[in-house]
Amino acid sequence: MTGYGKAVKELADKRVIVEIRSVNSKQLDLNLKLSSLFREKEAEIRSILSSRLERGKVDIAIYLEYSAGQSNSVIDTMLASHYYSELKKLSDELSLGNTDYLSIISRMPEVIKSGSEELNEQDWQSIFEAITEALYHLDEFRQHEGDILEKDYRMRIKIILDTLIKIEPYEKQRVVSLKERIHKNLKDFMENENFDENRFEQELFYYLEKLDITEEKVRLKKHCDYFIQTLSADGFNGKKLNFITQEIGREINTLGSKANDAEIQQLVVGMKDELEKVKEQLLNIL
């Protein structure tokens, strides 16, 4: 499940900014983007994140913004002079003419470095508070997305259950049509001199049993009810919900194969479509 959280804390001459992004993952995978200034507390930062997050691919960035006129960056003038000499020499040899050396040199490695500023305990306290606040906003974001997904799941499972009820009128007509077809075939069989009445009864019972969809309807409703029950339960139930959708799909498929009726088949196709949408959305919480 995706999520985003951000927090800003003002310090004496600067402010700390914490940004956390997450996407769905089966395990917790932390990726910290920290400058050398924060490395000494990396273990504590990871501990805070691990205590609040159980899963997901999480990127966290912590950086400082300095007030106007304040900065902890320094320029290595000796290295910059060396780069200038080499670039000027190369420019003269290639007859390149006027060149913006300052712009080029400022982008060269190690020319501009962060100073050796250290953060005091009060600064670290503010940073930890910012991390906690960003995690809170991340949870809010994920909770909002989860609420939307839950409503969508409930709506689609309800559509499946409502469609199951719509099958009943067609099922009654299906039985009537089946009886008429059996009576007609029975009359034809009775006129046949080689007619085996016992064999016919066996085939008839087998045929009727194969076409009966009562058990599939009962199991399908139970699986849908169990899906909603599991959806309301505490904890991470993505895998369980995925398993239940497989059982729902199995009953819907069997219902369609045994229906032997065009109208019921159309309703079954609609249920399959809704179930596929549920499966797609479940990928966000697996």
Top CATH class, 3-71+121-143: alpha beta
pLDDT tens digits, residue range 135-162?
Answer: 999 999 999 998 999 999 999 999 999 9
Residue bearing the bigger pLDDT, 233 or 101: 233
pLDDT given at position 112: 65
Residue 5 confidence (pLDDT): 95
Rounded to whole angstroms, how far apart are CA atoms 157 and 6? Answer: 35
Which pLDDT band holds residue 183 (cuts at 50, 70, 90)?
A: low
Q: Quick one: pLDDT band at residue 199, thresholds 50, 70, 90?
A: low
- Of the pLDDT bands very low, low, confident and very high (cuts 50, 70, 90), residue 73 is low
Dig out the tokens for 68 from the structure: 């106007």
Tokens of 21: 């992004």
Average pLDDT over residues 181-191: 68
Number of C-alpha atoms within 13 angstroms, CB side, residue 233?
Answer: 12
Q: Is 119 left (phi over 0), alpha (psi -120 to 50) or beta?
A: beta
Tell which wins on pLDDT, 116 or 16: 16
For residue 253, what pLDDT is reported?
93
Q: What pLDDT does residue 161 have?
A: 96
Containing H/E element for 17? strand 14-23
Residues of the chain with CATH 3.30.230.10: 3-71+121-143
d(CA 182, CA 187) in angstroms, rounded, equals 9
* Alpha helices, DSSP H, located in the chain: 42-52, 77-94, 101-106, 121-190, 197-211, 214-232, 238-259, 262-282
Question: Between residues 28 and 74, which one has the greater pLDDT?
Answer: 28
In angstroms, the first-to-last Cα distance of the chain is 9
In the predicted structure, residue 115 carries a pLDDT above the cut 60: no
Q: pLDDT category, 283, cuts 50, 70, 90? A: confident
| pLDDT band for position 189 (cuts 50, 70, 90) | low
Nearest to 67 by CA among 119, 130, 15: 15
SS3 track for 138-196: HHHHHHHHHHHHHHHHHHHHHHHHHHHHHHHHHHHHHHHHHHHHHHHHHHHHHCCCCCC
pLDDT of residue 209: 66
What's the average model confidence in pLDDT over 226-239?
88
More confident residue, 214 or 245: 245
Q: Which amino acid is at 149?
A: L
Task: Write out pLDDT tens, residues 258-271.
Answer: 877 888 889 999 99
Strand partners, 62: 18, 34
Backbone phi, psi, residue 233, to 5°: -75, 160
Per DSSP, what are the bridge partners of residue 74?
A: 113
